[in-house]
Amino acid sequence: MRRLEGKVALVTGAGRGIGLQIAIALAREGAKLVVNDLDEAPARDAVRALEAEGAEAICVVSSVTAPEFPDRFVEAALAGFGGIDILVNNAGYIWNSRIDQMSDEQWGAMLDVHLTAPFRIIRRLVRHWKGLPAPAPDAGHRKIVNVSSISGTHGAAGQAAYASAKAGLVGLTKSLARELGPDRVNVNAVAFGWIETRLTQEIAGETFIDVGGRRHRVGLPKPALDDLRKRIPLRRGGSADEAAGGVVLLCLPQSDYISGQVVEIDGGLAI
């Protein structure tokens, strides 16, 4: 049984990694997808991967921090599929440093991508939903899932900007769960621990990603990864597919009475 048959889902940062796996998992449940990535090639590849799963999919190539992005994203979904049922705010990256070395630009960039962008996208989507007739009693619930981090729920040395933005996203989630609940909109968050992606790979030489023309070093040294394995009760990092599974749980009809929650997907690291 495909539990999201006919639903339309928006997923930011879905060109690779966790975002792509979220989109694929939603597609396997029957959803139509509007995916986003900063870079065109991964975005187009994601559409092809979703179509290979039998899903209908379109992409919007842009930075989620662009002021015009929310309008483009929502309007693409409405033009392509006629409605929106699910939003997953997943896009983001890390830019770490100790507080004494952190610039205003670095602080602002982390808040822009991890907190301001989700706020703007949700605001645009809710304005659309508010303009619609009240849904029928049997129409089910709409879902918003924000991707936070255990850095946001517990803090992390060297990640003051990133952790602050992710903590702010938790506050946004809980506030909107209260505000939008009467309209049958569930708002939840997931807080990822160590998920094995290019951002958390073992550092081997010079490991960088490019974000808007700026190179950011990513990855963790082997001793740090070995320490994480010892501290995680499951004794391993999670896969992108496992991370996606937690997100999809909060998008299914079975989660219609779950709202305002932060689910830590971390193998038990934060307990």
pLDDT tens digits for 198-254? 666 556 555 665 676 666 556 666 777 778 888 999 998 899 999 999 999 999 999
Upper half-sphere CA count for residue 170 (Cβ side, 13 Å): 20
Residue 238 is assigned to a structural domain of this protein? yes
Residue 149 is assigned to a structural domain of this protein? yes
Q: Please give the structure tokens belonging to residue 97.
A: 């440093």
CATH number of the domain where residue 255 is located: 3.40.50.720
Query: How many separate domains does the chain show?
Result: 1
Residue 190 is assigned to a structural domain of this protein? yes
Angle at 89 between CA 207 and CA 268, to 5 degrees: 70
Q: What is the DSSP string of 152-197?
A: HHH--TT-HHHHHHHHHHHHHHHHHHHHHGGGTEEEEEEEE-SB-S
Q: What span, in angstroms and rounded, lies between the C-alpha atoms of 78 and 266?
A: 35
Contact 143, 126 (CB under 8 A): no
pLDDT in tens, 138-147: 889 999 999 9
Residue among 251, 270, 193 at smallest CA distance from 9: 251
Residues 6 or more apart in contact with residue 125 via CB below 8 angstroms = 10, 70, 74, 84, 87, 144
Instruction: Identify the three-state secondary structure at position 9.
Output: strand
| Total-model pTM | 0.91
* Residue 139 confidence (pLDDT): 84
Active site residue 162: yes
Contact 219, 196 (CB under 8 A): no
* Residue 1 confidence (pLDDT): 81
Q: What span, in angstroms and rounded, lies between the C-alpha atoms of 215 and 6?
A: 40
Residue 112 is assigned to a structural domain of this protein? yes
Question: In which residue ranges of the chain is pLDDT below 70?
Answer: 198-210, 212-221
Residue 83 is assigned to a structural domain of this protein? yes
Residue 33 is assigned to a structural domain of this protein? yes
User: Whole domain around residue 255: which residue ranges?
Assistant: 8-264
* Residue 233 confidence (pLDDT): 94
From the candidates 93, 162, 192, 194, which is the catalytic residue? 162
Residue 3 is assigned to a structural domain of this protein? no
For residue 190, list its beta bridge partners: 147, 263
Residue 271 is assigned to a structural domain of this protein? no
**CA 7, chain centre distance (Å):** 18
